[in-house]
A = this chain, B = another copy of it.
């Protein structure tokens, strides 16, 4: 930790929610020298016996790492994660083929959600101007005065008055309910028809059951399974499937039939008994995409993380986007001298288009991961994009690279992707048309004389590219 900035009148910042984004934000605001209090409904997860809900591991990438770096946490968290350099596609026949995430040396990290949360809470507590309150459930609050009332476990009430309320209370945010009651608040929540279920693949002879440095994917069109490695040499498998498919499987035999048909290679690795037992432990869990705007009310309250933008998990950006919220807010605080009445509207203006873009991208990938990963065209385009990126590193940057390995604003990444896609597709169309026309012309003019065929020179290709990209 670093020393807080000196300040004459300490303003009070209340952070609602002590999850990943709440705990990281506590570090950010404490580092700026504010009088920070965090209020979390649940008990301290560092003392909890069972950590309920949410997925077990997450993919940490560039944006998240940059946000951790700012509070000196990057190296520690990275050392506790497992690098994944590529997707490993499992075909129905059991064949495995890797598709790299980016260039050599670029990877994403599989990190343990609970452990990351604990580390962030412990880091936040090193700031003397930060106070942590667990078992505090928000009862009521006023966007006009900043007065908040919490109910403690014993039923007693706790009141505090904050200069700024930072809502990091997740997809089902209690704070956001007041936003919904106000006029001109745009809001959407969309549940996808798929649910998810987590299954554990244990180590084999003390080692990972599959290659550890990959995000394993079993794409099966209407559904799919993925697996991420954990530090304890297990894999957490997540099965994504439409709810009505989940409901069709009601007996242990049906579970086995289903896995036999679609994921036969995983049966010996997960284990027959574990599979039969764990499949029925919990029903399929719902996934929601939430978008809203504005993110603030006056100069008193701002939504961040999942409270502002819950995304479906298919781009691996939920936590990264939430962590980047902290940097973006901090940058605007710096620019506008911590004047909340200017910072909050600016944060809404700057951040809404980016969060909406990543929510849309995650939804797009929800289709792509299940279906296209199997298609020849998709694989061809992935390879072509990587190839073009290698030769024209500043002109053609794959979308996944911009999202995962840079801090290019999400909405700019989408704009650029659409532009690149148009250019590449036009180039392909142009090339194909040219080839057909040229070929026909030559065949008509000079029948069967193979020596007359023109092979385009590298210079011709370069000129063609520069024409289409200009």
A residues with CB within 8 A of B? 180, 183-191, 286
Contact = CB atoms under 8 A, between A and B. Distances in A.
Contacts of A180: 189
B184 A187 contact: no
Which among A183, A184, A185 has the highest number of chain B CB atoms within 10 Å? Answer: A184
A353 to B, nearest CB: 15
A282 to B, nearest CB: 14
Contact of A189 (B187, B190, B286): B187
Nearest to A183: B286
A180 B191 CA distance: 12
A193 to B, nearest CB: 9
Nearest to A181: B172
A185 B172 CA distance: 13
A186 B289 CA distance: 10
A188 B189 CA distance: 6
Contacts of A188: 187-190
Contact of A286 (B184, B187, B191): B184
**What is the oligomeric copy number?**
2
A186 B190 CA distance: 5
Given A186-B191, A187-B187, A188-B188, 12 more contacts: A180-B189, A183-B286, A184-B191, A184-B286, A185-B189, A185-B191, A186-B189, A186-B190, A187-B188, A187-B189, A188-B189, A188-B190
- Nearest 4 interchain pairs by C-beta: A188-B188, A184-B191, A183-B286, A186-B190
A184 B190 CA distance: 8
15 contacts: A180-B189, A183-B191, A183-B286, A184-B191, A184-B286, A185-B191, A186-B189, A186-B190, A186-B191, A187-B187, A187-B188, A187-B189, A188-B188, A188-B189, A188-B190
A345 to B, nearest CB: 13
A286 B186 CA distance: 12
A180 B172 CA distance: 10
A188 B183 CA distance: 14
Nearest to A186: B190
Nearest to A190: B186
Contacts of A187: 187-189
Contacts of A185: 189, 191
A184 B289 CA distance: 11
A188 B191 CA distance: 11
Contacts of A190: 186, 188
Contacts of A191: 183-186
Contacts of A189: 180, 185-188
Contacts of A183: 191, 286
A352 to B, nearest CB: 13
A331 to B, nearest CB: 26
A73 B185 CA distance: 38
Nearest to A287: B184
A178 B468 CA distance: 54
A200 to B, nearest CB: 25
Nearest to A191: B184
A190 to B, nearest CB: 5
Nearest to A285: B183
A5 to B, nearest CB: 36
A355 B187 CA distance: 18
A436 to B, nearest CB: 19
A294 to B, nearest CB: 11
A444 to B, nearest CB: 19
Nearest to A243: B184
A196 to B, nearest CB: 13
A396 B286 CA distance: 43
A187 B191 CA distance: 9
Contacts of A286: 183-184
Contacts of A186: 189-191
A401 to B, nearest CB: 32
A186 B191 CA distance: 6
Nearest to A188: B188
A191 B190 CA distance: 17
A108 B390 CA distance: 62
A182 to B, nearest CB: 10
A287 to B, nearest CB: 10
A185 to B, nearest CB: 7
A185 B187 CA distance: 13
A285 to B, nearest CB: 9
